[in-house]
Structure 1
Amino acid sequence: MANTPMTVLVVGATGSVGRLVVAESIARGHTTRALVRDAARAESSLPAEAQTVVGDVTRPETLPAAVADTDAVVLTLGSDGSAHSSPEDVDYAGVRNLLAALDGLTPRVVLMTAIGITSRSSVYDHLLDWKRRSERLVRASGLPYTIVRPGWFDMNSPGEHRLVFLQGDTRRSGTPSDGAVARDQIAQVLVQALTAPEATGKTFELVAERGLAPGDLGLLFAALDQDAPGALDGVRDEANMPLAREPQRVRDDLAAVRASGSASTAKS
């Protein structure tokens, strides 16, 4: 699997997975830019080699400088449940705002969401629905993408390091029995997907089972099925979120992203 050096923007860079993505990206020789809301916090939590740019996905005007001249974007953003960090505003609208800021740029996009995203469960206060809508925006954008749905963070047992890629999102109990994976392995998958042509246009769940960690992930990526061209959801996902029943603002966002993607393709 090729490892062509890129300029990579990490969104959610000071989060528990984002920090590891920054470190993994640097280790693989990429020029790595971290989008942060607080420069002081970033200085204490990120490697010195990371380039930091101050911005906020809920403030669209701060994003054009962050995305300028990037070859790839890794999105590990997530809301914290506070009044100022809701699933709709961060997990969904943050992705929408980032895509809008690209304004004709066509970077490689890797988005991290979550296993069980298609369950339609209200247990998480609709968090999963908003994450699923963010996936739909990325697919509609026309950009080269990979969408990774990790299992429960760091709840894998000792010796469970063999990565397993699944499709169809059939593990939806909302408990660790759906599968778990270490944060550092999530970061490795997200970063390796940037330079793996076999990962393009694919959506998958990521868990770890008993066994040794793999080296090159190319064969695992290659074994996956691609999402259907123009599809809203991942390959084999249950069709249980009809577009016609989606909020009008969500349908409008999808239409805008599709139009922008079509315009970018026409220019290129």
Structure 2
Amino acid sequence: MTDLNILLVGGTGSIGRHVARVATAAGHSIRILSRRGDGADTVRGDLTDPASLADAVRDIDAVIFTHGTHGAEAGYRDVDYGGVRNVLDAAGDRPLRIALMTAIGVTYRDGAYNRSNRAHDWKRRAERLVRASGHDYTIVRPSWFDYNDDDQHELHFLQGDTRTSGSPADGAISRRQLAEVLVTALTSDAANRTTFELVAERGPAQTDLDPLFCALEPDAGIDGAKDADNMPVSDEPASVREDLDRVTPRA
């Protein structure tokens, strides 16, 4: 396994804290983005301020995004989407391996939740930026955190984003296992350029995730493999189309 210098975005959150422990145990070096930057493993920077991210991206090999916000649409636009855009812009042409966490059901646009704040739409736009960027990546869409029963740890990777109830009926995953998948994906060739929904079913946790990664269909284009074609780029806001064009490498 190659030891990586990882920028962790969202490292002070409930998922990020698990990611930091898992990545450190695997031998990686972690740099946690923080607005205060007052910890031993932190670097000062604000996701909504591109100019503040130069130190955060210096000499990194990989980025794990576990950040997120709640509330009005502006937060999802500026943080969930804008944070990914700003880190990619700050990194420039530096080769990166990216692990991005979004959410199960992110392509379902007609639910009450997305209609109220467009959270899914903005998270999906963040996915598209990562795919368009030319960087190596894995996009993980976790189900409901820590709704697992005690015997529910067998991981399943799904594609097509067909679970759209907007409730724990869509599936459950422990925060710890989600962190393990995000970190493991960074050094798995089979995980590269894949997007999947992550759930746990009854059974023991697998010790080797590569067979699960190998069974995935790789992405082709700016949406995940098997995703619904229900968000035409031509209908997107001009600023989003401009962002996509800017991050896309030139031949």
Same fold (TM over 0.5): yes
Find the residue that maps to 1:115 and give its secondary structure.
coil
Cα distance in 2, alignment partners of residues 67 and 54 from structure 1: 11
Query: What residue number does 1:47 align with?
Result: none
Aligned amino acid, residue 115 of structure 1: I
1:149 equivalent in alignment to 2:149: no
Aligned amino acid, residue 67 of structure 1: V
Query: What residue number does 1:46 align with?
Result: none
1:191 equivalent in alignment to 2:189: no
Q: Share of identical aligned residues, percent?
A: 53
Question: After TM superposition, where is structure 1 displaced by more than 2 Å over at least 4 residues in a row?
Answer: 80-83
Segments of 5+ residues of structure 1 without an aligned counterpart are 44-49
Cα distance in 2, alignment partners of residues 157 and 62 from structure 1: 42
Segments of 5+ residues of structure 2 without an aligned counterpart are none
Q: CA deviation at 1:79?
A: 1.2
Q: Number of residue pairs matched?
A: 248
Find the residue that maps to 2:113 and give its secondary structure.
coil
2:37–2:45 Cα contact (<8 Å) kept: no
Find the residue that maps to 2:140 and give its secondary structure.
strand
Q: CA RMSD in A?
A: 1.4
Q: CA deviation at 1:56?
A: 1.0
User: After alignment, is 131-140 or 62-71 more displaced?
Assistant: 62-71
Aligned amino acid, residue 111 of structure 1: L
2:145–2:173 Cα contact (<8 Å) kept: yes
Aligned amino acid, residue 5 of structure 1: D
Query: What residue number does 1:13 align with?
Result: 11
What is the aligned counterpart of 1:70 among 49, 60, 72? 60
Query: What residue number does 2:97 align with?
Result: 108
What is the aligned counterpart of 1:216 among 208, 221, 225? 208
Cα distance in 1, alignment partners of residues 173 and 97 from structure 2: 24
What is the aligned counterpart of 2:47 among 47, 52, 57? 57
Q: Given the two structures, how large is their TM-score scaled by the length of structure 2?
A: 0.95
Aligned amino acid, residue 9 of structure 1: L
Aligned amino acid, residue 186 of structure 1: L
Query: What residue number does 1:37 align with?
Result: 35
Q: Given the two structures, how large is their TM-score scaled by the length of structure 1?
A: 0.89
Cα distance in 2, alignment partners of residues 54 and 156 from structure 1: 35
2:34–2:46 Cα contact (<8 Å) kept: yes
Cα deviation code 1:69-122 (max 9, x no counterpart): 111110111013279x70000000110001000111011011000000010034
Cα distance in 2, alignment partners of residues 31 and 132 from structure 1: 28
